[in-house]
Every structure is written in C-alpha cells, then in structure tokens.
Chain A
Amino acid sequence: MNTRSAVKQAAIDAIPLCLPAIPFAFVIGLAIHNANMNPALGWSSSWIIFGGAAQLTLITLLGAGSGVLAAISAALVVNARHLMYSAALAPHFQHQPRWMQWFGPYVLIDQSFALAMLRDKTPPEQFRAYYLTAGFTFWGMWQITTALGLILGPVVPASWELQFAVPILFLAMVVMGIDGLTKLVAALVGAGVTLLCIDLPNKMGLLVGALCGIIAGSVCERIKP
C-alpha cells in the first residue's frame, strides 16, 4: 500500500464510522443550548476537547448546576478510557517521528483507535497517512455536526423531550462496550452506588459510583475462575 492508497483507504473506512456520531453531535448542540451556554463557547469544546462523552458530561453537569470542579473531574474520569488506547497504540507509534507522537494523540478517539489497531502491519509512513486521514475526517465531521446541532437543536419543539436522548446515548455506549461479566458488574455497581449516593452535594455521587464500579470490575476479574 502506498501513501496515496492509504489516504484513500482511510477515507473509505472512516466515513461510515462517522454516521453513528451524528445524533450524538446533535444532542451536544442541544445540551449547550439547554445549559444556557454561549453557543460559540460551548462549541469550542468540540476542538479543545474533541471527545463526545466528556463534552456532554461537562456541559450537562455545568448546566445542571453541579460544581465546576465536580463537572471537570467527572468529564476527565469519563475520558480516562483514552489511557487504555494510548497504551495499546504506543508500540505502533514507536517508529513515528517525534512530531507525530505529539500530534497524533489529538485525534485519538474511539473510532480512530479501532481503525488504527487493524493496521498494525502497515509500514510507518503509510500508517501515518492512514491514521491522520482517518483522524481528521472524524475531526472535521465532528466540528460541522456539533455546529449544526447548535443551530437545529433549539428549533426542535420542547415536547419532543430530546434531552432524554442524553441518557439513551450513554446507555448505548455502555451496552456496546460490555463484552463480559466483569464489565457488566462494573456498570451495575457504578449505577447502583451512584443511585445510593444521590444526595451527595455537587453530583459527587457520580465519582463515588464510578470509582466503586471500577473497583468492583477489577475485583471480579481477580476472583473469577
């Protein structure tokens, strides 16, 4: 595969993976609107953070009046899964120039991770062309669709109760990510403990619940036969 065909292949692979992110981007646009945030300010999270789940967490929690520190920590915890991607991809970046090692991680999201992991036999130069093309296809799509969500989201009548789409999308992400009993335990404990801690100030129950879920999953993995 030469560089040119790597670019072409990346575009072919990336575009279908963009489609599921579109409703997500719209809900973020709507969440910015509901949080009474300046639209341009809210949208800046698309290129500063470039991570749907963290953006949605930060925006909804700020809009729901939880403390700024609680909202920031929750968003960071949500995005901590990228540590896993970074670790898994580190060997693929070993033979890349230093600028690529700094620049590549900016577009490391769920989709680009999934595509990059399938290209581990690709020579460095083609890997770079492939990874950057795929990553920036997602990036461009994300900037445009979140902006569209900001414009179109508020036009949707309130009776459609589109804000209910937020928990649905989080649920979809949980369900699609569960591939075994230990992750199911982590998810159930995370939700259950959060529910029990609902009266804690600043939505801190979220962090307590998430932490308990992570511990429960790890313990479960250890005692599993």
Chain B
Amino acid sequence: MTIFLAIVVVGLGTYASRAVFILLFANRKIPHTLQSALQYVAPATLSALIVTVLVDDNGQFAVGLAEMTGLGLGALVAYFTRNHLYTLVVAMGSFLTLNALL
C-alpha cells in the first residue's frame, strides 16, 4: 500500500512538472534564474544517483577495478555513439570480463 501511494505521488508530481507551464504560463515568460537552474537538475541528480546506487548494503562505496573500467568505457561509448544499447553492451561486457578474470 505504501509503495502504491509512493508511485501515485511520484506520478502526480511528474505530471505536474510536465503540465504546469503548458497550463498556466503559455503566455508568460519564466524567470531567467529558474530557467537556468533547471538545466542542471538532470546532470546533478543523475550523477548523484549513480553514486547512490553504487553504495552496497553495508554503506560502503563498492567500486572496484571492474566497476571503474565498465563505467569508464561506458562513458566513452555514450559520449561518442549517443546510443544506450552500445553503451550497455560495452560497459557490461568489460565489467563482466574483468570480474571473471580478477
């Protein structure tokens, strides 16, 4: 039940963030400060998330050589190909190979 409520709250919040300017501000300008801050939401939050999901159950930042290599190569592939699938294949492939070798 709690989980369902959490999903509904996030759903409503997400809809609100998509709709608010379309519904209310169609004819008005958005404050410049807000507009400029909004573009940093995605990079700042997503990279904070990467760190968060790499913390193991004991609260340790669990990144060894295999993880580092996977993430590093993944970043390069993402930058040059702009393709999620290639990124995933290269990053997972190098991570699993190193994991098996080490």
Contacts and interface: CB of A to CB of B under 8 A. Distances in A.
Interface of A: 19-24, 37-38, 41, 44-45, 48-51, 53-54, 57-58, 60-62, 64, 68, 71-72, 74-87, 89-91, 93-94, 101-102, 104-106, 108, 160-162, 164-178, 182-184, 186-191, 193-195, 198-199, 203, 205-207, 209-214, 216-218, 221
A132 B71 CA distance: 36
A203 B83 CA distance: 30
A78 B17 contact: no
Q: For the complex, would chain B's binding face be called helix, strand, loop or mixed by DSSP majority?
A: helix
Contacts of A205: 48, 51-52
The 10 tightest CB contacts between A and B, nearest first, are A213-B44, A217-B40, A190-B44, A105-B19, A48-B11, A209-B48, A105-B18, A86-B21, A20-B84, A187-B43
Nearest to A217: B40
B45 A49 contact: no
A102 B22 CA distance: 8
Q: For the complex, would chain A's binding face be called helix, strand, loop or mixed by DSSP majority?
A: helix
B33 to A, nearest CB: 8
Contacts of B6: 58, 62, 68, 71-72
Contacts of A80: 17, 38, 41, 45
B21 A87 contact: yes
B83 A20 contact: yes
Interface of B: 2-4, 6-11, 13-15, 17-23, 25-27, 30, 33, 35-55, 57, 59, 61, 67, 70-71, 74-75, 78-79, 82-85, 87-88, 91-92, 95-96, 99
A28 B17 CA distance: 22
Contact of B51 (A20, A51, A162, A195): A195
A107 B61 CA distance: 36
Nearest to B45: A210
A218 B40 contact: yes
B10 A76 contact: yes
Interface centre among B3, B71, B83, B95 (most CB of A within 10 A): B3
B46 A78 contact: yes
Contacts of B83: 20
A83 B21 contact: yes
Interface centre among A19, A90, A104, A209 (most CB of B within 10 A): A90
B84 A48 contact: no
Contacts of B74: 168, 171-172
